[in-house]
Structure 1
Amino acid sequence: MMHGVATGDDGPAKDAAAYPRGRRPWLLLSYLTLLFVLSFVDRNMMRSMVDPIRASLGISDVQISLLEGAAFATLYSIMIIPMGFAADRFNRRTLLGTAVIGWSGMTMLAGFASSYRMLFVSRMGLGVGEAALQPCAMSMIRDSFPPQRRAWPLAIYTTAPLVGSALALVIGGALYGFAKSGGASSIPILGGIEPWQFAMVVPGLFGLCLGLTIFLFREPRRVDVDTGESAGLKDSLRHMRGNTGLYVLVFGAAVLWSLANTGWSAWLAPAIERQHHLPPEVVGPTAGTIALICSAIGSLGAGFLIDRRSLAGDRDAILKISIWLQALQIVPVIGMFTVQGTTGVWVCLALSNLLIGSMPIAAFAIITEITPGHHIGKIVALFNLAQNFLGQTIGSAVFAFVGEEVIGGPLGIAWAIILCYPLIMAVSLVLSVMLMRARRRFLARNG
């Protein structure tokens, strides 16, 4: 038995019969992408209000990094494996709807937090709910689109973290400014909380409504799960061992990419505020709007370019383009924190986001390419465990530690980005080049 071939990818005729047609898969993709956007809005909302939260709770940058990373990632990491197992075994629609309602409730609880401990606990609860999203969504996308039509849907879906992170700055800054100016004072219950708390509660309310709408969609029929193979975790790990080199490289390159880009984006707003003495209600909406527009254009453009090159016969296009874009991105990221004046900052931020989105497309495309359908939920869960626990937790904390404890001073976090980001990205690029060669051998061996 070949370990590397996903059993549902045997040919175009089989694909045409196995997958849904018409608007239904695209409507589902749109909804899943919206959920993915919401998840990143909820987990990143604090980024536009770091200094107000610090002042309100009397905490440090390192404690903020723990809220953004460890608090979220701890239970996320514990729960994502059983969530992946559940996504492979049970109704994904029901599981995902329950999870969205749960994490939205935790987002609202974070908004009512009056202590560091309560905020930490609510962030842990957020991680439990969001642990179900990726295994369910990637499994549903895989069962909705055949391999030869999967790159563009993945490009759309993987734009969500970039859009969600940008929207978190826009929405967070706007809601904070609205509440700070007294606009929320007449709203029952919400009018009596601090501006940063108000900005946390509102997205949670939206999420509760969005979670209920999942039941308007039909559960996709599972593809290639009738092969007689067990869907247990041991079998999924056995499949991964059969392709150890590929999985280690794709996991490693993506984790380091996440670590580097989470690090600078997590501290973007406070670094700019401290360097240029701007308030959160100015930096958040401005930076978020630029990131929203440019990251969406860049990610969708990268997906389109990859598809065009692949259709022209370049089987390495997905990694070639990703490697070039990642290498080019290093220059404007460093430029954001070294140029003089805010105009240069916004130009560098725009360029950084135009170049940021190719790695998630490449990683998920390769994982769905080499993973059979009865393993996809669990292996995507393992991938997200690594990416979120190591990337998010360590990324934000490493940059905060270097900035606060090693360099020190109000501009320490900016210098931490300048020093840490290119070093981490260099290692990720080396692994990406190795991954391209390993994938080339895999395709030559398995067709």
Structure 2
Amino acid sequence: MEVAEKDTDAGGLKSTPVNLRVGWMTVGILSLLTVLSVLDRSLLTLMVDPVMADLDLTETQMGALLGFAFGLFFFLGALPIGWALDRFSRPLVIWIGVTVWSIGTIGCGVAQSFSTFFASRAMVGSGEAVMGPGAQSLLPEFFPPEKLGFAFSVFSLSSSIGAGAAFAIGGLAGTLIDPRGIHEVFGLLDLRGWQLIFLMVGVPGLLMAFLIFLVPDPRRTKTTRTESTNYFDYFRLAKRYWRFLLPHHLGLLFTAGIAVAMVTWSPAFYQRVHGLSVGEVGAAMGVALTLGTVVALPIHARIVDRLYAKGKLDIHLRYMALSVLVAAPLAIATYAVSSVTLSLILFCLSKAFMCVYLSLPFVILQIVMPSNLRAKAASIVLVLNGILTLGLAPVLVAVVTEAMGGPQMVGYSLMICAAVLLPLSAFTLWFALKPVRAILTGKMEEGELPDASALALAAH
């Protein structure tokens, strides 16, 4: 389905000529590769004990493999990947990333020591850093701004689906292949079961990586391959747009922080306070978390796309601010009610409103950014999100819990964090509304359009 270039009501911006069939094919391929990435990164969590036993690892060493080896290189890799995506062929850069993490997964399967396993996990992390910035750079090329929210929400679901698929596929593989047993491969090799599982997951990735070459790489602005391909250009633009970017980033990080904290510490809450077993918590939270996000996120995106098409230029951030305000009392009540069933329902509902952070702020960021700086903008957010949310948010809850009296107070700690961070997110997002309208209409506060804004508008 070809969509010709046409004027929209959204501030006089023009929708880019796109082929929606190619666009949805791109969403499908990127989503499939994202599911693969989540499977590869999560596989080790299911193989902890056999890997520790065979490689004679300590708890600290395994913790380093699960977190530090992957996380550090995931975030370090984001910056050079963002530069490469804006400078070279995006499908080629994504192919390299998928190939690198697949080789890393294979490396985990043949590792014979902590150091080689660490290096392999680092390859997995650095390769997987390509998916977020790559998708954010490519998708705006195939969807006009008024349709981008829904497309991005569908792609964003791949992470949630991938987490479920990782446990399902990994669990099935662990059932069919004893991770601790010895298995003969083609009469040539004897491998431990966990090694064979890593190889079975890693090798197909080398072939699936070639799917990305089905995605065309639309021509970007003329400056993309010359001067505007480094982070100095991004930071010059960020300096002009700081009134939009600062509250945008803070609002996103506050919501992401409490979302991560709730997922991290809610299992402990249900075990300590409500007495559920590990198996009961896993099943109940898995359903509540997935259902709330999978059902709600596309609905939110559809509503926002329609309002944006009608000229509501700040709707992505305005809608997110209102959604997190609705989520706040639901999140607080999750840890206040005495019924475990009601608590899980409230948890699901809070996630249904909170999940907008997975899509809407990234969509408006890519609408604002010129095409040759999109991946860099996404990479910066990825690094900040990793450090301030994945790194600090769970620690914040732990500190508050300890300050309030110990492990049984984790529910109160989560209540306090939700009561502070979600309204704070809405408050900071409100400061980005006027600047984003000014950028998209070309009417800055001084009454004239800066050069960077002209670049952003030309990209659309």
> TM-score higher than 0.5 here?
yes
3-state secondary structure, aligned to 1:339:
coil
Residue in 1 that maps onto 2:359: 361
Report if the CA contact (8 A) 1:69-1:393 is conserved: no
Report if the CA contact (8 A) 1:225-1:373 is conserved: no
Whole-Å separation in 2 of the counterparts to 1:45 and 1:421: 31
Report if the CA contact (8 A) 2:101-2:124 is conserved: yes
Shift in Å, 1:153:
1.5
Which stretch shows the higher mean deviation, 20-29 or 205-214? Answer: 205-214
Residue in 2 that maps onto 1:296: 294
Cα-to-partner distance string for 1:251-302 (whole Å, 9 max, x where unaligned): 2211222222112112333443444444444432332233222201111010
Residue in 2 that maps onto 1:6: none
How do residues 409-424 of structure 1 correspond to structure 2 at under 5 angstroms? Answer: 409-411=406-408, 413-424=410-421
How do residues 215-294 of structure 1 correspond to structure 2 at under 5 angstroms? Answer: 215=213, 217-225=214-222, 230-294=228-292
Shift in Å, 1:410:
4.3
Residue in 2 that maps onto 1:345: 343
| Equivalent of 1:429 in 413, 426, 429 | 426
Shift in Å, 1:28:
0.8
3-state secondary structure, aligned to 2:19:
coil
Q: CA-atom RMSD, angstroms?
A: 4.1
Change in CA separation of 1:414 and 1:102 when aligned onto 2, cut-off 3 Å = farther
Whole-Å separation in 2 of the counterparts to 1:435 and 1:241: 14
Change in CA separation of 1:51 and 1:107 when aligned onto 2, cut-off 3 Å = same
Which stretch shows the higher mean deviation, 84-93 or 94-103? Answer: 94-103
3-state secondary structure, aligned to 1:359:
helix
Shift in Å, 1:105:
4.6
Report if the CA contact (8 A) 1:327-1:429 is conserved: yes
Residue in 2 that maps onto 1:33: 31
| Equivalent of 2:79 in 81, 89, 93 | 81
How do residues 13-92 of structure 1 correspond to structure 2 at under 5 angstroms? Answer: 19-43=17-41, 59=59, 70-92=68-90
Report if the CA contact (8 A) 1:299-1:357 is conserved: yes
Shift in Å, 1:90:
1.7
Change in CA separation of 1:386 and 1:157 when aligned onto 2, cut-off 3 Å = same
Shift in Å, 1:192:
5.4
Cα-to-partner distance string for 1:10-59 (whole Å, 9 max, x where unaligned): 9679967x644151221011211233344445556678999999999775
Whole-Å separation in 1 of the counterparts to 2:399 and 2:168: 25
Shift in Å, 1:107:
5.0
State whether structure 2 residue 394 is matched by structure 1 residue 399: no
Residue in 2 that maps onto 1:3: none
Report if the CA contact (8 A) 1:107-1:203 is conserved: yes
Report if the CA contact (8 A) 2:368-2:440 is conserved: no
| Equivalent of 2:137 in 135, 139, 156 | 139
| Equivalent of 2:328 in 324, 327, 330 | 330
Change in CA separation of 1:104 and 1:58 when aligned onto 2, cut-off 3 Å = same
Shift in Å, 1:199:
8.9
Whole-Å separation in 2 of the counterparts to 1:308 and 1:70: 42
Change in CA separation of 1:205 and 1:302 when aligned onto 2, cut-off 3 Å = farther
Structure 2 runs not aligned, ≥5 long: 185-189, 444-448, 450-456
Bigger Rg over Cα: 2
3-state secondary structure, aligned to 1:333:
helix
Which stretch shows the higher mean deviation, 235-244 or 295-304? Answer: 235-244
Report if the CA contact (8 A) 1:81-1:382 is conserved: yes
Change in CA separation of 1:341 and 1:426 when aligned onto 2, cut-off 3 Å = same
Q: Read off the aligned partner of 2:423 and give its amino acid letter.
A: A
Shift in Å, 1:432:
0.9
Which stretch shows the higher mean deviation, 224-233 or 30-39? Answer: 224-233
Report if the CA contact (8 A) 2:35-2:161 is conserved: yes
Q: TM-score, normalised by structure 2?
A: 0.77
Change in CA separation of 1:123 and 1:178 when aligned onto 2, cut-off 3 Å = closer
Report if the CA contact (8 A) 2:47-2:179 is conserved: no
Q: Read off the aligned partner of 1:172 and give its amino acid letter.
A: F
Shift in Å, 1:326:
0.8
Q: Read off the aligned partner of 1:188 and give its amino acid letter.
A: H
The structure with higher relative contact order (CA 8 Å, sep 6+) is 1
State whether structure 2 residue 170 is matched by structure 1 residue 172: no
Change in CA separation of 1:364 and 1:108 when aligned onto 2, cut-off 3 Å = same
Whole-Å separation in 1 of the counterparts to 2:67 and 2:438: 36
Whole-Å separation in 1 of the counterparts to 2:116 and 2:178: 26
Cα-to-partner distance string for 1:409-444 (whole Å, 9 max, x where unaligned): 543544432332332223222111111232233345
Q: Read off the aligned partner of 1:440 and give its amino acid letter.
A: R
3-state secondary structure, aligned to 2:27:
helix
Report if the CA contact (8 A) 1:25-1:144 is conserved: yes
Q: Read off the aligned partner of 2:183 and give its amino acid letter.
A: P
Change in CA separation of 1:379 and 1:302 when aligned onto 2, cut-off 3 Å = same
| Equivalent of 1:438 in 432, 435, 442 | 435
Report if the CA contact (8 A) 1:253-1:428 is conserved: yes
Report if the CA contact (8 A) 1:112-1:193 is conserved: no
Which stretch shows the higher mean deviation, 271-280 or 429-438? Answer: 271-280
Whole-Å separation in 2 of the counterparts to 1:117 and 1:270: 32
Residue in 2 that maps onto 1:188: 183
Which stretch shows the higher mean deviation, 47-56 or 127-136? Answer: 47-56
